[in-house]
Amino acid sequence: MTAPLTPPRPTLIADAAIDLIADAGLRGLTHRAVDDASGLPAGSTSNLARTRAALLELVLTRIVERETADYPVLAEDGLPGATLPPRDLLIEVGAEALFQALTSGRRLTLARLELALEATRRPELRAVYDRLGARFIRLAADLLAASGSTDPEADARRLIRWCDGVLFNATAGSGHWHVPMPEELRVDLDRYLAALLDEEG
């Protein structure tokens, strides 16, 4: 039997750092703690990411990579040959991605929320956060334009704000006790898109 492949060292380090942030917040993130958590020799993390800023960028990039791994439609290259109409695709991918972020990906979401707050105090992290997030806005704008939006860029920002609100509410906000199921999320997205696209106007 072939032994499972060991992930590359940057992946081991980034994943260990994500777990540390999810468990203890950013106060628990040190280069030494990541070395210990990843099972790598002392100094491995600092050799890869010498500064805290570099470590935070590594972590944030890995979070986006893991969050989008199951959704080729979220890839940097744009839309592959999607079989659903754009509006239906927004609803389906949006609901599934949100549900995953609140369940199996909850630790990634916790870490990302911690980094979002840290980005308000670190301009260099803010730049990375915004650059990585821009792909989601571009994709949403493309899909909204194809769905009939008359202002897809503004509507994309509105949709992303709604998604961020759902994630915060069900993770750390007043709705933390209730994880909406995919069907509930589909219904909510359908209603929100109807308002954005003025389908009843």
User: What's the mean pLDDT in 103-126?
Assistant: 96
User: What's the mean pLDDT in 114-133?
Assistant: 95
pLDDT at 21 over 70: yes
Q: Which residue has the higher pLDDT, 65 or 199?
A: 65
Read off the pLDDT of residues 147-158 as tens digits, 9 standing for 90 and up: 999 999 999 999
Read off the pLDDT of residues 124-148 as tens digits, 9 standing for 90 and up: 999 999 999 998 899 899 999 999 9
User: What's the mean pLDDT in 72-88?
Assistant: 67
Q: Could you tell me the CA-to-CA distances from 63 to 49, 113, 186 in Å, in that order?
A: 16, 11, 24
Min mean pLDDT across 62-66, 74-78, 106-110, 156-160 is at: 74-78
Q: What is the predicted pLDDT for the residue at 70? A: 75
User: What's the mean pLDDT in 8-20?
Assistant: 97
Min mean pLDDT across 9-13, 43-47, 80-84 is at: 80-84
Q: What percent of the chain has pLDDT over 90?
A: 84
pLDDT at 76 over 70: no
User: What's the mean pLDDT in 65-76?
Assistant: 74
CA 195 to chain centre: 25
Read off the pLDDT of residues 83-101 as tens digits, 9 standing for 90 and up: 789 999 999 999 999 999 9
pLDDT at 81 over 70: no
pLDDT at 4 over 80: no
Query: For residue 178, which amino acid is it?
Result: H
